[in-house]
A and B are shown apart, each in its own frame.
Chain A
Amino acid sequence: MNKLTFRTDNCKGCGLCVDVCPKGVLALAEDIINKKGHHPVTAVKPDLCIACAFCATMCPDCIIEVEKGV
């Protein structure tokens, strides 16, 4: 099982990670608003994550931590 951790309060909801994920794991949470006033990213299909870390590589705010085989 791979684990994604988000520093949600730093997310600006740009959605670059959502676009770059090859498995469609991520989405912007339309029902949540974070401290900055954005819809932050969440893992909607965490089971599909292959820990490629494309999302974390693309994230301009470095909010994603990726762990493999937890």
Chain B
Amino acid sequence: MVVFKKPHALSDVPLHYCPGCTHGIVHRLVAEVIDELGIEGKTIGIAPVGCSVMAYNYFECDMIEAAHGRAPAVATGVKRANPDNIVFTYQGDGDLASIGTAETVHSAARNENITVIFINNAIYGMTGGQMAPTSLPGQVTQTSPYGRDVNLCGYPVKICEMLSELEGPEYLERVTVNSVKQIKNAKRAIKKAFQNQIDGKGFSLIEVISSCPTNWGMTPQAALKWIDEKMIPYYPLGVYKDRSAEKKEAEQ
């Protein structure tokens, strides 16, 4: 009996990510969810700019490459023109939380019926490890060699907390993938985000706290530990908004 094999929706192309990068895990989780829901034929993915810019090579479903940060805007157009298709975007923190903040906030405010997978690794990975809007206070990066000074560079952007203040979005959850238990939890969250879209409930965003061993300057193992020690205290995991659950509670 096969206990585990590569999901069909994930292509055979070798991933270009650095050794130990958790992008690969999240790619696989998305592909597994597409397989389990049986939606490979009608799913359209929107690839971002950043480390995951070549995500279009890795999924077997149709993919579109968006301009930097504009994936939710492209997804809005695709979903409105093809309401029967399942549309997801896969974005990093430099894409979604920096140059694409406007698109993210407004697609959430409009409650567009799309699924957003947001990879937060607190650094700009592809361009060589510069400070990102999500870099932690005091975090050493290429452009903050003495640690991020909040008086000079401001505070990190907490996307889930920020969007949860809006009335629009249907579902917001922050998960991580630094252990087997957390990976299973992340898969549940991603599946719910896709199911919400199938049910026509609206905007679902899953923020995945990820590691960047290369640009954090650590081994893959140490990077996973760093997530527990530094990232999660600043970015607490959990469900930030679940409008269906709130509605159900209000009815009872």
Q: Chain A residues in contact with chain B, CB under 8 A?
A: 9-10, 12-16, 19-20, 36, 38, 51, 53-54, 56-62, 64-69
Contact = CB atoms under 8 A, between A and B. Distances in A.
Contacts, number: 73
B184 interface: yes
24 contacts: A9-B14, A12-B19, A14-B19, A14-B213, A16-B221, A16-B224, A20-B179, A36-B14, A51-B3, A56-B4, A57-B183, A58-B180, A60-B15, A60-B20, A60-B23, A60-B24, A62-B6, A62-B7, A62-B10, A62-B28, A65-B2, A67-B2, A67-B3, A69-B1
Nearest to B17: A60
A6 to B, nearest CB: 12
Given A15-B221, A16-B221, A60-B22, A53 B14 contact: no
Nearest to B23: A60
Interface residues on B, range: 20 to 34
Interface of B is mostly: mixed
Interface string B157-191: 00000000000000000000001100110000000
Nearest to B10: A62
Nearest to B1: A68
A66 to B, nearest CB: 4
Contacts of B1: 67-69
B108 to A, nearest CB: 29
B14 A61 contact: yes
Contacts of A57: 4, 180, 183-184
B50 interface: no
Contact of B183 (A13, A14, A58, A65): A58
B6 A65 contact: yes
Given A56-B4, A62-B24, 10 more contacts: A12-B20, A13-B19, A14-B220, A38-B19, A58-B183, A62-B6, A62-B10, A62-B28, A66-B5, A69-B1
A61 B24 contact: yes
A9 to B, nearest CB: 8
Contacts of B7: 62
B55 to A, nearest CB: 14
